[in-house]
Every structure is written in structure tokens, then in C-alpha cells.
Structure 1
Amino acid sequence: MTSQKTHHFPAMLNFKHLHYFWAAAKAGGVVRAGEQLHTTPQTLSAQIKQLEERLGCALFRKQGRGVELTDEGRVALGYADQVFSLSEELETVIGRASDGPRVMSFRVGVADSVPKAIAYRLIEPALDAAAQVRLFCHEGKFQDLLAQLAVHRLDLVIADEPMGRQLSVRAFNHALGTTAMSFFATPSLQRRLKGDFPQCLDGAPVLLQGPASAMRRRLDMWLSEHQLRPCTIAEFDDAALMKAFGGEGRGVFMTPTVLEAETQAQYGVRTIGRTEQLVEEYYAISAERRITHPCVAAITSAARDKVFRG
């Protein structure tokens, strides 16, 4: 007689307890949460106590007449936010499909080094890829987004550099296009610059991307090759903040040529020069070699035919 092996699965977290904790944390206490959930504070407290026993730590501590989250409570709240956000997404995408056309979920990560205007131009065509698309946009560090792509929490990552071969993430680069770079200054600052471009940058006040930017490294090399030594006024991780300072005349700044017209209009600056020796590249990175997701297909097609057509 052969014996059958019994599989023992670990006990699942009680999501009712988690929901009560989440509601109390969001409401600022069990009394207000009880009013919102139409239940007594005693019931809420008992349910949260069971969750704390399950996790082996306290999630709230007394603070004056109220309560505040412990360090463990703040961690738990972050996970609870994700759990109930995904629950809502699941209901939207699948649970309500019988009530009408199927809603397609599309999760895209945008590297924080990609200008917001370019990110919008690249992603916007995805909204027309299907009858109903629910778009989830996440901005973050390139490496962090790749990690989320690897575990299928993202459908696509848009970045200004390809994924390197040294990474163990199974993903594929899809080139979207390239753009030259343009340099801008306010009219008053432009009048103070000496000589033609690019020599006018020598000694000029400049606003630069942060040292972690791939373009910043290429810019430093370009300046060195042309024996140009501008005066660095400030460095920025956020391109929009850099352009805001540039619009106030604080220094010459650089942005992709495809954004030239709107940069001039929005910040009241003039183009003082362009160079095709500095090229910004954009990539869509997916977990699939062959593009099958209609939103990804719409993005890659529009990028090549419209955004970077010139």
C-alpha cells in the first residue's frame, strides 16, 4: 500500500484583520474607523489584536489621547495599501467584465531621468490601444523599475538607457528613438554670452543634470573634448526643476531637441545652439522579446512614427 504525501500550506493572513488595521490607520484611530465601517471600536481592537499576534509585533502605540503607528505598523500599512490597491484593480479588470467591455490593465514604469513631456508623448498612445484601458504609471529609479518588471508588477519600463547585459533580469530592449540636444538661455542671459555656440559656453553659468544621469556623463566628455569650462551654478535630478531655474535666467540649460518648441514657449527662453554629438536615446523594456501587448505595440509604433520621426 503506497502512502500519499500530504502537502501542508502555511496559514494565510486574515485579510479581514488586515482591512480593519488598514481602516484604523487611515482614519487615525479605531473610534473613527468604527464609525466608517459601522462597527464598534471594541470589535476593531480585537481584530487588530489578532493581526498583531499573527505578525508578532505591535502595530499601534498610544500617543497622548490617541494612537500612532509603530515602525512595524508603518511597514504593514505600506503593504496593506498595495494589497487593497491590487484588490481594486482585480475587481475593475475581471470582476466587472460582465457589466461591459473588458478593461485592460497596463502598468508602465518611467525612469525618473526621462523628461515628463517625453514620457507623456510616449505613453499617451496606449490609452487608445483598446476600447478601455486603465493605466497605472509609476516613476522611480531605473534599477528598481527593472526589479518590478522581473516579477511582473510592471508590463513595461521606459528609460533613457538600455538594460545592461550584466543584469540577471530576463527582459528585452526595444529602441524607441533618439533626439539631439538643444541648449537654452533667457534673452538677457544670451546677450551676456560671448562668441558663437558652443564656444559661448566657456565660462558661462550653466545648470546641469545630476551626476547619476547617463546624459550628464556624455555632456562632461563633450565639454572636455571642446575644451569648454562653464561655471556650474547648480545640479538637478529633476529636469523640470532645472528648466524652472533656467527660465528665471539662472543659467544655460540643456534639454532634448524634440521638446525645443514647448521649452521655448513655456519658459520664455531661446535656443542658443544644438548638437547632434550629444544624443538622448529612449527604450521600452519589456519581459517579452516579441511585442504582443497592444499598449506596448501602440507606444513603440507612435514613438517611431511621430515622437522621434525627425
Structure 2
Amino acid sequence: MSRLNYHHLYYFWSVARIGNLTQAAKELHLSQSALSTQIKQLEHTINIELFERKGRTLALTDMGKRVQMYANDIFTKGEELSSFIHKGVISQTQHLSIGVLNTLSRNFIEEFINPLMSNDEVRFSLTAGRMDGLLNGLAEHELDLVLTNKPIGLEHYDQLWQSQLVSRQPLAIVGPADKKIRGQFPAGYTDAQWVLPAKTSAIRDSFNALCARWQYQPKIKAEADDMAMLRLLARDSGALSVLPPVVVKDEIEQGLLVEYQRLPDAFEHFYAITAQRKFVPDILKSLLAKTC
């Protein structure tokens, strides 16, 4: 492959960042045709199609997105160097792209990102999705980390991924404040109705183990595989539920729900998944270090 022309790469990066060829040409003080030619020369040099036309707009190809991520690292550092040379300071603003499993507790997410909220030198974005899409985002360098309550399974295993346990929350039986059962499970729970996590969840496994131990058969009113939905069911149904109290923290503070009792030695685990990469943002290192 021919030596990379960084002028051409910068023109590509500008178009990808701005999202419009005409506007990018104005900012670069080039004609639209000249800019288009420069990008075509880059595509020819690296033998990769970077853009595809969708109607009147340009969209990055999958490989174009990967090239853009590398260009971001190159030219962001270059702009910091320029700032240091001309002003004697380097911009400290960092950006973190966080993917979150779409069934994850929003209260846990809020607690995790709390250090970022109070840091004026950090900007961040949150993207919710399914595990397959989030891991693709990591692989394509569109995301810096993924938050999940599920360890990486065999179907997703790849040496590229690095998984770190960042938190674990105790599980508890939670229900309406005016119906609190005082006895220890299963005493007093014979007629109780339940809204529970889906059968495939680790929380449900823990509850099933407790029920098996005491030969208790729960009367299940509803099941949900989404923590936000389970939170609503626990709040509005009048039934009992099993979940980490952090999920219904607001409802407990408002007196709508109370914690009946903790499940012995039972926890929900939360993981941060990252991809092996040469450049790791300092804020990401700091964030993960605080959660160890």
C-alpha cells in the first residue's frame, strides 16, 4: 500500500465530522469538486470505500467508520499539540462514549456516571442497545465501554473483550409499604403474588434457588426482562418483587415501596466491557479504577 497522505486523511476526517461535503468544503476553503477528488485519492491509496451515497447525502461505510475513529485519535492529538505550541496549554476536555444494555437499571447507570457529571473536563454520550450491537460498537471503536449485568457468554466470547466487575448489588424482596410481611421467608408469603424478572435472568435463578430450598411455589402475576418495566410493575401492581433495592431507590425514598428482606448471599453483578486498544482515554482509566 502507498504511503498514507495525511492531508487527504484530514479532508476525509473533516467531511466525516461535519457530515456534509459542501459545508466541509467551505470550512476548508476548497471547491466541492477539489475536496471530492482528494477523498477519492485517499480511497484509491488505501483501497477502501469510505463513503456511500444515500440519496443526496453521504454516509460512512463500515470501514469508513473505523478509519474515522483512527483519524479522530490522530487529529485530536494534533489539535492538542497545536494548542500547546501556541498557548502553552493542552485542552483537557475528554469525550467518553458509553453503551448500556437496554434492560439495565437506570439507577445503576446514574450512579456509575455520577463522577462524570461533576467533571467539567469531560463530555459523554450514552447509547442503549442489545448486546450484539453494543459489542459491534466496541469493535468499531464507536464506544469506549459497555455496561451490562451479564458476563460475556460463549456466543460473544472473543479475546478482544476485557470484562471487569464494577459493582454488585444485593437482592431483596420488595413490596408495598402497607403490606409488609414481618416474618422471614417463606413464613407469611403463602398468598403473596409476585412480579419477577424473566426466567433467563440471574436474579430469577437466585430467587428460584431460595424457593427450592424452602419448597415454596410462588404465585407469579407477571414477568419482565426489562428493569424499567419491572420497576413499574413493582410500584403499581401491589405484588412483591425480587430485585436490587437500587432499582427502586426513588420509590423506597418516597415510601411507596419497602424492602422486606435481603436474599442470603444473592447479588446482581454489573460489568464494564472494553475492547483492547492502544489508546485508552485517561478518564476511562480513572472511572474503572474507582469502581474496582
Category of TM-score, reference length = shorter chain: 0.5 to 0.7
Determine if the alignment matches structure 1 residue 265 to structure 2 residue 259: no
Question: Is this contact kept in 2: 1:207–1:232, CA < 8 A?
Answer: yes
C-alpha displacement at 1:287, in angstroms? 1.6
Residue among 188, 191, 197 paired with 2:185: 197
Q: Following TM superposition, by how much is the alpha carbon of 1:194 offset from its aligned partner in structure 2, in angstroms?
A: 8.7
Query: Which residue of 220, 228, 244 corresponds with 1:240?
Result: 228
Q: Find 2:174's aligned residue among 155, 175, 184.
A: 184
- Report if aligned partners of 1:189, 1:249 keep a CA contact under 8 Å in 2: no
**Residue by residue, what CA displacement relative to the aligned partner does 1:44-82 show, whole Å, maximum 9, x if unpaired?**
xxxxxxxxxx979x959xxxxxxxxxxxx9xx9898xx9
CA drift at 1:122: 0.9
Aligned partners of 2:163 and 2:272 also within 8 Å: yes
Number of residue pairs matched by the alignment: 245
Q: Which residue of 2 aligns with 1:216?
A: 204
Alpha-carbon spacing, 1:277–1:227, altered in 2? closer, same or farther (3 Å): farther
2:173 counterpart SS class: strand
What secondary structure sits across from 2:291 in the alignment?
helix
Summarize deviations over 1:169-204 as a string: whole Å, max 9, x none.
Answer: 5111112132211111113333xx595324444441
Q: Is the 8 A contact 1:103 1:134 kept in 2?
A: yes
Q: How far apart are residue 224 of structure 1 and its match?
A: 2.6
CA contact (8 A) 2:149 2:270 kept: yes
Q: How much does 1:300 deviate?
A: 2.6
One-letter amino acid matched to 2:240: V
TM-score, normalised to structure 1, is: 0.61
Tell me the distance in 2 between the aligned counterparts of 1:274 and 1:150: 38
Match of 2:42 in 1: none
Mapped to 1, the partners of 2:141 and 2:224 lie a distance apart of 31
Instruction: Tell me the CA shift for residue 168 of structure 1.
Output: 2.4
* Aligned match of 1:115: 105
1:142 to 2:102 alignment = no
Secondary structure (helix, strand or coil) at the match of 1:101 reads coil
1:303 to 2:291 alignment: yes
Task: Output one character per residue of 1:63-114: Cα deviation in whole Å (capped at 9) or x when no partner.
Answer: xxxxxxxxxx9xx9898xx98xx89xx6x96798659834311111111232
In the alignment, is the contact (CA less than 8 A) between 1:160 and 1:283 conserved in 2? yes
1:250 aligns with 2:238: yes
Residue aligned with 2:158, SS: coil
Structure 1: where are the runs of 5+ without partners?
21-53, 61-72, 305-310
Cα distance in 1, alignment partners of residues 171 and 194 from structure 2: 15
TM-score scaled by length of structure 2: 0.64
User: Residues 171 and 242 of structure 2 are in contact (CA less than 8 Å); yes or no, is this contact kept in structure 1?
Assistant: yes
Structure 2 match to 1:125: 115
The letter of the residue matching 1:155 is D
Structure 2 distance, partners of 1:212, 1:95, is: 48
Q: CA RMSD in A?
A: 4.6
Write out per-residue CA displacement over residues 216-243 of structure 1, whole angstroms, 9 at most, x where no aligned residue: 2333333233322111111223323322
Counterparts of residues 44-123 of structure 1 (less than 5 Å): 98=83, 101-123=91-113
Contact kept, 8 Å, 2:234 with 2:240, in 1: the verdict is yes
User: Which 5+ residue runs of structure 2 have no aligned equivalent?
Assistant: 4-11, 22-50
Contact 2:252–2:258 (CA under 8 A) maintained in structure 1: yes
Identity of aligned residues (%): 19
State the shift of 1:143 in Å.
3.1
Aligned to 1:160: 149
